[in-house]
Amino acid sequence: MTDDRRSAGTPTLEDVARAAGVSRATVSRVVNGVRNVDPAIQEVVRQAVSVTGYAPNRAARSLVTRRADAVALVVSGAGTEAEAGREGSGPQRSGASGGPPETPGGPGSSFTAQVFADPFFGRVVTGVVDYLRPRGMHPVLMFAETARARDEVVAYLRQGSADGALIVSTHAEDPLPGLLTEAGLAAVLYARPARPVRISYVDLAHQDGARLAAEHLLAVGRRRIATISGPLDVPAGQARLAGFRDTMERHGHPYVPIAEGRFTQESGEAAMGRLLAEHPDLDGVFAANDLMAMGACHVLREHGRRVPEDVAVVGFDDSSAALACRPPLTTVRQPVEAMAAEMTRLLLDRLARPGSPATSVIFEPELVVRASA
Amino acid sequence: MTDDRRSAGTPTLEDVARAAGVSRATVSRVVNGVRNVDPAIQEVVRQAVSVTGYAPNRAARSLVTRRADAVALVVSGAGTEAEAGREGSGPQRSGASGGPPETPGGPGSSFTAQVFADPFFGRVVTGVVDYLRPRGMHPVLMFAETARARDEVVAYLRQGSADGALIVSTHAEDPLPGLLTEAGLAAVLYARPARPVRISYVDLAHQDGARLAAEHLLAVGRRRIATISGPLDVPAGQARLAGFRDTMERHGHPYVPIAEGRFTQESGEAAMGRLLAEHPDLDGVFAANDLMAMGACHVLREHGRRVPEDVAVVGFDDSSAALACRPPLTTVRQPVEAMAAEMTRLLLDRLARPGSPATSVIFEPELVVRASA
């Protein structure tokens, strides 16, 4: 600590030491979080810090520890420079379900706006923040949907402004995880990357979740069941469809009508319209996320179908949309907050033990039965 | 810049200078964003930075510039230590409308979860990020709903980890704005503080917005109009109710039934239930935010009332809830993203010119006519 750099009048380490009646070295140890200091002395020093208004300069400390004590939370995409700040047809998530819904900002809205229009991202932030806060850390929020923005993230980590990155990809083909691992930077992903990358991640057992949905629809007596899938170029969309079809065929239902959506409410409405037009007698629908399930409920009601009496609807995620929907959705819970907290734990663990091998943690989904099925 | 501190093998400023064929001083000027460097030379240096993989150490630079080039985005509350991490009855916003709805996490969920369950906060983040990104800056996300968390925010700014704070208060009695201004730290508020504090803020002309809602309901022929107000202990709740009643009485309607809500969908449902029980013949409702309006629409439908044929409903905010609702809500638009961007501009302006006086920027609301009224 070089407090000499501080301007006159600003309280120094010496001021704190005097106020606490302890040595400068002891204050330094407490302020820098070194262990093995008597708790009573720690408390005395902390009170002296509070009384004097002393604040250690974090930049100076970072030069000593080589740690920023900060992590970047990056929402990334696969866009190119030409797309200048937003993805062509709107983000699609590779691992999570539920892309951004139609936003008040409309199709011209920024990537950031599209991202936050989906309740999923707020849940990720919640999990990350709730894990970091008790550790005195705060996430730096970054977006990286263009090549330039990805370079900025790499540079930001290289220059030590953050110690590592938590990445939520909106596209299966996102190059950021590969860029970070090649640069030897610490990073953890939410959801399995589409292509093999030596990086830690958390994910959900999507197929098991879809199985729960299929079994529930069959258990409540539905026999003409269709599905609104997520985008089939992303792993979560594929896995949920595969799990659903597998379960249906195991129960003797070889044919399942499918309409592909984009994890948005709007796309769920359009998909439901197509399914109803071709299969007006359907009595059950599994939508691969809650926003699409909510859109399906709207269209079913507009076509005079009661939910669940005429058509039972099951969603996926258990996001805020599940409770906002009328009737409230029976859905498959993805514990996003817990998964995001675990992703953060994996990153801090990696920072504490550099060189430890990449790992994966897979969460189990649960069926949440409400009124829609 | 003291690149001597960098470990061997890491590219230095000298490496970049050699690759670019310019002086070390020129590289330093470009890297540190000093003006008056020929654009062609800037480009050459940037390419050399890219080729060599050089990354300036931000901690080292911060020691020279005394600037972190970071701002904190703080969601604060008025809780005490005893409430340990979350507010008693859930956050209520002082300036914005719409508190967090019922969350999947339930009443035991964290303050963070409650905050992000409301689409409002995602819109704030969007506006802040969209303003900061082109300037190479990223927000550090912090929460401060307890006395200890507020102290942490003050310490974080004092120690120079961020240059200033953008504050979104969830309670009218939030002490954070006062703490920051007393400490001489740069901060800007979203929404007028409940008590006078010498701090800059952005806000909406809430009364004018409520006037637009009242005039629209009257213009479409409604005469038995009730209102679901926001919490009356927060300025925005008060102002929207005052603007609505003023307009009604100017049009010869001295009596307006009121049910107070808490800016959540759930509270809107409860309020609508009370209004219908006491005034079964009502034909128009102004809800002081979209989440409560959505709750009102649910309850009206459950009671066999068609929206808008039997009861016209107008919301406030134009959040994602307005589009998710069926029918889509006629509402008063609060341009949250633009307001958050302006809040950020005010802070950077303040940082560029320390000592400039506090200012306020008030945005005009607009009526957005959709299907519900």
Q: Residue A88 contacts by C-beta under 8 Å, 6 or more apart in sequence?
A: A79
Is residue B362 located within the same domain as residue B218?
Answer: no
Number of domains comprising chain B = 3
Q: For residue A371, is it within any domain?
A: no
Q: A187 and A153 in contact (C-beta within 8 Å)?
A: no
- Whether this model's ipTM surpasses 0.85 comes out as no
* pLDDT by 10s per residue, chain A, length 373: 444 444 445 677 788 888 888 888 888 777 665 656 787 887 788 778 777 767 665 555 555 555 677 899 999 877 655 443 333 333 444 334 433 333 334 445 688 888 887 888 889 999 999 999 889 899 999 999 888 889 989 999 998 889 999 999 878 788 999 999 999 999 999 998 888 889 999 999 999 999 999 999 999 999 999 999 999 988 899 999 999 999 999 999 999 999 999 999 999 999 999 999 999 999 999 999 999 999 999 999 999 999 999 999 999 999 989 999 999 999 999 999 999 999 999 999 999 998 889 999 999 999 999 999 9
- Contacting B residues, span 268-307, partner chain A, CB-CB under 8 Å: 294, 298, 301
Residue A32: its pLDDT value, please? 63
The residue among B132, B133, B319 with the most chain A CBs within 10 A of its CB, best to mutate, is: B133
Residue B42 sits in a domain of what CATH number?
1.10.260.40
Q: For residue B100, is it within any domain?
A: yes
**Set of chain B residues whose Cβ sits within 8 Å of the Cβ of A102:** 323
Contact of B10 with chain A, judged by CB distance below 8 Å, is answered with no
Is residue A189 located within the same domain as residue A75?
Answer: yes
Question: Looking at CA atoms only, how far is residue B10 from chain A in angstroms?
Answer: 10
Q: Which of A110, A125, A158 sits opposite B141 (nearest CB)?
A: A125
Closest chain B residue by Cα to residue A334: B104
The predicted-structure confidence for A220-268, as pLDDT tens digits, reads as follows: 999 999 999 999 988 899 999 999 999 999 999 999 999 999 999 999 9
HSE-up of B335 (CA within 13 Å, CB side)?
A: 15
CB-CB under 8 Å, A143 with B156: no
Which amino acid does the sequence have at B334?
A: Q
SS3 state at A91: coil
Q: For residue A372, is it within any domain?
A: no
Q: For residue B361, is it within any domain?
A: yes
Q: For residue B372, is it within any domain?
A: no
Q: B199 and B206 in contact (C-beta within 8 Å)?
A: no
Count of A–B CB contacts within 8 Å? 157
Q: Which of B125, B149, B158 sits opposite A55 (nearest CB)?
A: B158
CB-CB under 8 Å, B298 with A326: yes
**Set of chain B residues whose Cβ sits within 8 Å of the Cβ of A103:** 320, 323
Residue B345: its pLDDT value, please? 97
Closest chain A residue by Cα to residue B130: A112
Q: What is the mean pLDDT of chain B?
A: 85
Residue A190: its pLDDT value, please? 95
Is residue B160 located within the same domain as residue B179?
Answer: yes
Q: For residues A64 and A81, what is the distance between their CA atoms, to the nearest angstrom?
A: 37
Question: Looking at CA atoms only, how far is residue A291 from chain B in angstroms?
Answer: 9
Q: In chain B, which stretches have pLDDT less than 50?
A: 1-8, 82-107
Contact of B158 with chain A, judged by CB distance below 8 Å, is answered with yes
Contact of A158 with chain B, judged by CB distance below 8 Å, is answered with yes
End residue of a domain, out of B46, B65, B84: B65
Q: What is the model's pTM?
A: 0.78
**Set of chain B residues whose Cβ sits within 8 Å of the Cβ of A101:** 320, 323-324
Is residue A143 located within the same domain as residue A238?
Answer: no
Residue B65: its pLDDT value, please? 58
Q: What angle do CA B162, B167, B172 make, to 5 degrees?
A: 150
Residue A78 sits in a domain of what CATH number?
3.40.50.2300
DSSP state for residue B217 in the 8-state scheme: H
Contact of B152 with chain A, judged by CB distance below 8 Å, is answered with yes
Question: Looking at CA atoms only, how far is residue A252 from chain B in angstroms?
Answer: 34
Closest chain A residue by Cα to residue B144: A133
Rg (CA), chain A: 25
Closest chain B residue by Cα to residue A337: B113
Q: A300 and A373 in contact (C-beta within 8 Å)?
A: no
Q: What angle do CA A191, A197, A201 make, to 5 degrees?
A: 30
Residue B77: its pLDDT value, please? 78
CB-CB under 8 Å, A102 with B323: yes
Q: For residue A373, is it within any domain?
A: no
Q: Which of B218, B286, B289 is nearest to B258 (CA)?
A: B286
Contact of A324 with chain B, judged by CB distance below 8 Å, is answered with yes
Is residue B181 located within the same domain as residue B212?
Answer: no
DSSP state for residue B372 in the 8-state scheme: -
Q: For residue B373, is it within any domain?
A: no
Is residue A164 located within the same domain as residue A237?
Answer: no
Is residue B228 located within the same domain as residue B296?
Answer: yes
End residue of a domain, out of A65, A88, A112: A65
Look up the domain containing B140 and give its range.
Answer: 70-204+337-366
Is residue B316 located within the same domain as residue B360?
Answer: no
Is residue B200 located within the same domain as residue B211?
Answer: no
Residue A2: its pLDDT value, please? 40
Convert A269-286 into a string of H (helix), E (strand) and C (coil). Answer: HHHHHHHHHHCCCCCEEE
Tokens 């990809």 belong to: A169
CB-CB under 8 Å, A105 with B337: yes
**Set of chain B residues whose Cβ sits within 8 Å of the Cβ of A149:** 133
End residue of a domain, out of A31, A46, A65: A65
Is residue A343 located within the same domain as residue A200?
Answer: yes
Q: For residue B371, is it within any domain?
A: no
Is residue B148 located within the same domain as residue B44?
Answer: no
The predicted-structure confidence for A96-140, as pLDDT tens digits, reads as follows: 443 333 333 444 568 888 888 788 888 999 999 999 988 989 999
Is residue A132 located within the same domain as residue A46?
Answer: no
